[in-house]
Structure 1
């Protein structure tokens, strides 16, 4: 009898806890509302790449209350970089380090780099990579950004078409530098974290040489980083050589800041590169 009473009491206690938990939970908005506030997801079918891209868009908090036009931050590896970027931007805005901006992440629908749906090897590399069957499609991807994505963003949202930032890390950093040299008027700000230019250094230097000989000018703000503990052969030396080439040209309207992160390793520094990069390219200085 006592056991039956104890069991009944236990059931009542557990039931009341479940009811209480449900009541408390019901006071909060659905999870999806928390995640998607001021955020939109679009699917863009690219004729240039012959693929569909996930495009994540974060609008400024007071976007609907003004007629203002906003700078746009474009993110490569958008599936993983988008949420990080929107959080970083909010922190920096609290400190008045960056203005209100529209954030656009370009993704594949998965943040797993080795997933069958993720084609960063295909899209971020200017030439074929040894051992990477699907690679070397950077030109087509750049045409997608130039002729399909940016026109869509500019026609759909109130953007400042003279103020675009491109952010890329690792292979994304390679593509960002490629974009800067191949289409120098497309963006005016570049945040490049630990670019994997080891295999394409000569290609980038040749592009820069052609640009210098034909145009003689390159403009914008370039923030580029490497980690102190990253490979000398694959990261530190190639990046340093590329930066020295640009600095040696003394482009009149190109501002370059090259930073080495103390104790930095390759997958530790994406958030640091983005944070300090945004502060630099938007012309604010930390105290």
Structure 2
């Protein structure tokens, strides 16, 4: 629906522009007397800058159902240059973001009349939006430049306070919209008092000579530190410029670089290049920025296609449901049925996740007895967008192998045979000594024993022809030192998973890529995903895949149900039992002491009271987890992008105990 409205709005803007151009060409520019246009939904409210004794006006537009929906708190868009922007923003939000309060901030009303007559009613914007004084005395005397700090205080202390006290506003969803000098002012707000707004729309900001000062502000604010939430700008930023604004490109790109160089987890930056010059790019800037804004106010993305994860803006508010929606995607739903204390504890945990108290996580889903009973999204989480999986892909690769075993292309006995015995396009004569010691079992438990100089391998990786297909294994076994009992110890990495993927590709009909799609993903209804290719041309086996959180749940339920889907034995039950068991002990220092490793799946006991529950889980860096506890009939999914990734503690202490009491 939103996309249809957007097309209608774009058509209207194009028609308006064409009509204006035709009148100009025909010389049809005379003014016809008549009644002036009135916008009855917009209230004009006088307001005073109490510290500087200046009079302004606010253009307030409330959502259509504001008076009827007395229990709703609404997002607010604040915009400067109110007289210029009121119509386009009113129209854009009407079509794409209906439930929002618009607050336009006028220019100063009681400014010197002579100056107003000379320059125009907008003259105060030169003073209010600029953050540095002019080095030309006559200009400075006339316009009193560099008072952005005072105008910002007026907005924070008077405007926002008035709006919040008068209307039902959502304090987690404040947006600033500014164009040209208004965009310059927005950049100043972002780097001086970023908590003023949650979202910043900076259209063609006039920062040609201001990047050094903005960089200084950024330095003053300080670098981002993941362990200190207050070090983040905590903002979504939309920055645009016109394709014909040649003088604007370099400074704006430099400013974007300043923001991205922060590597700020709480900062999302979206750049758009709009067709046109500084003037003609404005209407489409308004339309596209409002469309972008709508994407961070809903857990359902308007763009369900693959997009860059880091370009996804952070949600202003979490989406939390104890009665998930039936999306007709093959997932059964139900209501969270735990006692009130446990329910409140899970809801409280959700709020804490949103606030970043446990790290940067994007989704938490809980399924009980094969039914989704709790669903939540935070930060970059969206219900219909695939999320990066990192090393959780290893566990999914293990399931692919289990499917090949179920279909008879491999057997359980084959797990202990030399891995190279399944490869017909390799030359064993060139292998390092002991290559036959590498079995599927060894590779699946990270005990392959390959030992390759990392610097040499970086050079080898540049030769994609050499590594094509089974050439990858050929090269690995030529390049490695001897495979011995001493070398076949636990070593985490992506060589072992790629050995397994090469075998899958060799034994299944067609290609491994087609097999993954046809025999695993299609079978359980996973269609919106991305599974990248390795340099060998084979599917990645250890990382670089993206799937939706709900689809992660499908994979977890597949393990919970011992490989069955809709009555069909999809994965070998015997293989799954081994894959999800604790076969070996990982040796990394950072790994919890009670974690064990199966076939690319982890296993650990979770203690609740005096009882222990075996827990199997896929685990990917940043916080991707598919957790399965068969005894509790429980599947839990977590998506995230957190460096420390410690959310498992809260899952073990809050979520899992809630279902022990069932």
How high is the TM-score relative to the length of structure 1? 0.80
Partner of 2:244: 229
Higher Rg of the two aligned structures:
2
> Is residue 2:138 matched to residue 1:125?
no
Cα distance between partner residues in 2 of 1:49 and 1:166: 22
Q: Does the C-alpha gap of structure 1 residues 113 and 270 become closer, same or farther in structure 2, counting only changes over 3 Å?
A: farther
Measured at CA, do residues 201 and 103 of structure 1 come closer, stay the same or move farther in structure 2, by a change above 3 Å? same
Contact kept in structure 2, 1:48 and 1:141, CA below 8 Å: no
Report the equivalent of 1:89. Answer: 93
**Contact 2:44/2:57 (<8 A) preserved:** yes
Per-residue CA deviation, residues 35-56 of structure 1 (Å, 9 max, x unaligned), is 2322211111112333111110
Q: Give 2:277's aligned residue.
A: 265
Deviation of 1:179 (Å) = 0.6
CA distance in 1 between counterparts of 2:122 and 2:249 reads 31
Q: 1:139 aligns with which of 141, 149, 168?
A: 149
Structure 2 equivalent of residue 160 of structure 1: 170
Relative to structure 1, the CA distance from residue 255 to residue 213 in structure 2 (aligned partners, 3 Å threshold; closer, same or farther) is closer
Q: Is the 8 A contact 1:39 1:59 kept in 2?
A: yes
Q: Which residue of 1 aligns with 2:578?
A: none
RMSD, aligned CA: 2.4
Query: Quick one: which of 150, 172, 180 aligns to 2:182?
Result: 172
Q: How many residues of Structure 1 are paired with residues of Structure 2 in the alignment?
A: 249
**Quick check: 1:41–1:57 contact (8 Å CA) kept in 2?**
yes
Residue matched to 2:254:
241
Residue 39 of structure 1, aligned match among 14, 21, 42: 42
Could you list the per-position Cα deviations for residues 205-259 of structure 1 after superposition, in whole angstroms to 9, with x for gaps in the alignment?
1101111248531112110001111133xx1100000101211221101111111
Query: Which of structures 1 and 2 has the larger relative contact order (alpha carbons within 8 angstroms, sep 6+)?
Result: 1
Q: What is aligned with 2:106?
A: 107
Q: Is the 1:57–1:104 contact (alpha carbons within 8 Å) kept by the matching residues of 2?
A: yes
Q: Distance in 2 between the 1:112 and 1:250 partners?
A: 47
Q: Secondary structure at the match of 1:64?
A: coil
Between 1:138-147 and 1:178-187, the stretch displaced more is 178-187
| Distance in 2, Cα, partners of 1:260 & 1:198 | 17
Residue 77 of structure 2 is matched in structure 1 by: 73
2:222 to 187, 207, 212: 212
> Mind listing any 5+ residue stretches in structure 2 that lack a counterpart?
1-33, 110-115, 225-229, 296-300, 305-662
Unaligned 5+ runs, structure 1 = 1-29, 93-97
- Cα pair distance change 1:266/1:154, threshold 3 Å: same
Are residues 223 and 162 of structure 1, via their aligned partners in 2, closer, same or farther at CA, if it must alter by over 3 Å? same
C-alpha distance in 2, partners of 1:112/1:251? Answer: 45
- Deviation for aligned residue 1:116: 5.3
Aligned counterparts of 2:245 and 2:182: Cα–Cα separation in 1: 17
CA shift in 2, pair 1:104/1:112, >3 Å: farther
Q: Distance in 2 between matches of 1:119 and 1:244?
A: 30
- 1:64 matched to which residue of 2? 67
